[in-house]
């Protein structure tokens, strides 16, 4: 059965680990460790190497999901994990505009490393102060062709929807 490698990246606390935990059919390989930097102000633990999860989409396609750490000091993991990926999901915490600049930097990092189809997942849309996907598109200065998909990483259906949208983008890019 064909397997496809997808990478989930984004700034600290965007919801990358939760996204993978929500959808994975196997127990997620996670590497969360106690946070001691400024991350500890927003959460207790942070990913230091990677998350790995797996899900079968339809009967004939398996997705391998690799989540990255969010902090810049782990950018060597961004590079390692992006080896052989077919698609990229950039997670954004829609309630934290102060992380948008870092998100742009992360997108640039991946784009400069290699051109891979990507979508932006506007996470935490269930929160009152969440920016809308359109506002986030403007703030991140995303080209029209890049999809910004609203989601809540806790919700399986919405996570699946993000993955499907990414698959469509990957297929469309392959046809070009």
| Residue 39 makes contact with other proteins by CB under 8 A | yes
In sequence order, what are the residues at sequence separation of 6 or more whose Cβ sits closer than 8 angstroms to the Cβ of residue 26? 53, 54
Q: How far apart are CA 13 and CA 138, in angstroms?
A: 21
Looking at beta carbons only, is 75 or 155 nearer to other proteins?
75
- Residue 14: name the closest of 172, 116, 131, 113 by CA: 131
Give Cα separations from 86 to 37, 41, 89, 118, 152 (angstroms). 32, 34, 11, 9, 23
Q: Is 25 in the site for other proteins (CB under 8 A)?
A: no
Q: How far is the CB of 65 from other proteins (least distance, A)?
A: 16
Judged by beta carbon, residue 29 or residue 164, the one nearer other proteins is 29
Q: Does 49 bind other proteins (CB under 8 A)?
A: yes
31 or 95, CB closer to other proteins? Answer: 31
**Is the Cβ of residue 22 or residue 71 nearer to other proteins in the bound state?**
71
The kind and range of the H/E element at 102 are helix 100-113
Query: Which of 5, 29, 95, 146 forms a contact with other proteins (CB under 8 A)?
Result: 29
Asked if residue 71 binds other proteins (CB under 8 A), the reply is: yes
Angle at 4 between CA 16 and CA 108, to 5 degrees: 50
Side-chain-side CA neighbours of 39 within 13 Å: the count stands at: 20
CB nearer other proteins, residue 77 or residue 149 = 77
Q: Applying CB under 8 A, which part among 16-24, 31-39, 56-64, 96-104 lies near other proteins?
A: 31-39
Using the rule CB under 8 A, is 54 a contact of other proteins?
A: no
79 interacts with other proteins by CB under 8 A: no
Q: Is 48 in the site for other proteins (CB under 8 A)?
A: yes
121: left (phi over 0), alpha (psi -120 to 50) or beta: beta
**CB distance 162 to 119 below 8 Å:** yes
- Contacts with other proteins by CB under 8 A lie at 29-31, 33-37, 39, 46, 48-50, 69, 71, 73-74, 76-77
């Amino acid at each position: 059965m064909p397997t496809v490698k997808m990478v989930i990246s984004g700034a600290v606390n965007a919801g990358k680990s939760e996204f993978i935990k929500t959808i994975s059919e196997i127990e997620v390989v996670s590497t969360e460790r106690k946070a001691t930097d400024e991350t500890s102000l927003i959460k207790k633990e942070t990913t230091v190497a990677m998350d790995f999860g797996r899900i079968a989409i339809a009967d004939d396609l398996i997705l391998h999901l690799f989540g990255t750490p969010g902090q810049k000091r782990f950018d060597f993991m961004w590079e390692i994990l992006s080896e052989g990926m077919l698609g990229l999901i950039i997670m954004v915490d829609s309630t934290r505009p102060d992380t948008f600049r870092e998100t742009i930097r992360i997108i640039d990092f991946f784009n400069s490393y290699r051109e891979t189809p990507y979508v932006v997942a506007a996470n935490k849309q269930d929160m009152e102060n969440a920016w809308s996907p359109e506002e986030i598109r403007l703030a991140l200065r995303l080209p029209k062709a890049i999809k910004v998909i609203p989601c809540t990483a806790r919700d399986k259906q919405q996570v699946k929807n993000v993955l499907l949208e990414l698959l469509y983008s990957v297929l469309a890019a392959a046809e070009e």
